[in-house]
Each structure stands twice: as structure tokens, then as C-alpha cells.
Amino acid sequence: MGIDLDQSNNLEFEFQNLPDRRRDVIGHLSPFKGGPAKPLPLTITHVSADRKGHVFVFYKNAQEIGYEKLALHPESPVERSWSLCIPPEEMVPGQFEYSYEENLGVGGSYEGTLENPPPHHVFVTNNDSPPVITHQPPEGPMRGGAVTLAAAVKSPGKLSSVRVYYKLMPAYNDWVSMEMSPSGQGQFSATLPLTPEGILYYFAAVDEDGNAANYPSFLVRTPYFTIEGWDARGGGAAASAN
């Protein structure tokens, strides 16, 4: 405990000795989702050189063109936290967008995030169901320079992206992402390069409500499929998809 307190005091001392222009800081962890017609609480940490500043939030919902403005209110002088609640009538389905700005008082300047995009975004939706992906790996040994993979995706929300990620073996190669093409009735396909060393691959789907899923899920099994390599010189056996 004493060590933690010393570290906190040292950080405070270092902060107080920063040049004034660097001593006004807004810290914030954005919520990921909000519910339609439900208030959205927002909290920030506001560290000011002279503690005379004030903080505002500028926001717009999916139906508005311009930004609205609300003032945050001091909550805890010890934690230097400020907060407010976005009114429930402002929370309409779609994406809610907002930025913070500090007013340093009469004769002071403004510091904020409006001039430093991107702003924060919150999905406003009642849909919390991620897409469901199914896939049947190719049967038997695979040979050749390419393989076409298919996956079925079901989603309550409108899909925004279905991708396959693959890695050419050996394992030190990077993962590569490829957008899959819709082929009707919730089916998607993509053609991947295939080498004698084999490949690893998995699928990912995201909907417009911010729900996402990977397949296979690391909570259930090894989070990728394998197409094993073969002896390109001939005579070598086995390639298979797991």
C-alpha cells in the first residue's frame, strides 16, 4: 500500500511540474452500446492546471445533423471526475456520436476533441445477438495452388462484414484478412492461396449493431481450422482439413 501511495504521489508531482499547456487532460472510456429511449451516463476524468475549467459534451444522434451541447458537472474532487446523463429521448436507434471540449474560462482557450477526430461512437440498439457462423471444412487431402471455402452466416441484424482470416504456414507468417463474397441464402465464399506447407484459417462476421463473432470460437475449441501441408516433391502423404 505504501509503495502504491508513493507512486501516486510521484505521478502527481510530475504532473504538477508539466508545462501549463500540457496540464489540461480529459480522460474517458467510451461505452460500447446504449439502449433506445434509455439514458446514457457519461463520466470523464478532468485534470486541469488551475481547476477553473469546465467541460462540455457535444453530441448528435442518428436523426440529427448538427451537434447539441450539454455541460458536465463535477462529481468527485478527489477522483477529478465529471459526469452527466444523455436524456433518453436523444437515444434513438443507430449510432450516437459525441466529443468533449474544455472551456478554460473567460479569456481562456478551448481544448477538446472536436478538432481532433474521430469522435466517440455508441451503438444504440436492442440487438445483442451476435452472428452465427457455420462451416464444413474441405474433405480429404487438399492439393493445388488455391482452395475455395464456404461459410453460412445467420444474423438478426444486417451484416456489415464477413471475412476469412488465413495464415500461410510456417506459423511465423502473418494473418491475412479477405472479404468473403455473398452467394445467396446466407452463404459466403472466398478463394484462398494454398501451398505445400499448408494454411490455417478462421471466419469473422460483424453486424451493423456492433455484434461480432469468430468461428471457431476460442471458448469452444482451437480457434482455427487447418489444411495440412504435403510433400511437393511427390510421394509424401497426407494433407487434411481439421
C-alpha cell at 172: 511465423
Predicted confidence (pLDDT) at residue 185 exceeds the cutoff of 70 = yes
Predicted confidence (pLDDT) at residue 240 exceeds the cutoff of 50 = no
pLDDT at 196: 92
Residues 161-171: tens digit of each pLDDT: 999 999 999 88
Which whole number is the average pLDDT over 22-49? 86
The pTM for the full model equals 0.74
Distances (CA, A) of 105 to 18, 71, 92, 138, 151: 20, 13, 33, 66, 57
- Domains along the chain? 22-124 (2.60.40.10), 132-228 (2.60.40.10)
Residues 65-87: tens digit of each pLDDT: 889 999 999 998 888 899 999 99
Q: How many CB atoms lie within 10 A of CB 185?
A: 6
pLDDT at 237: 40
Residues 106-118: tens digit of each pLDDT: 545 455 544 555 7
Yes or no: say if 64 and 52 are a contact pair by the CB < 8 Å rule.
Answer: no
Predicted confidence (pLDDT) at residue 41 exceeds the cutoff of 90 = yes
Cα–chain center distance at 231: 41
Residues 120-149: tens digit of each pLDDT: 999 999 999 999 999 999 987 788 899 999
Torsional class of 50: left (φ above 0), alpha (ψ -120 to 50), beta (otherwise): alpha
pLDDT at 113: 46
C-alpha cell at 137: 471444412
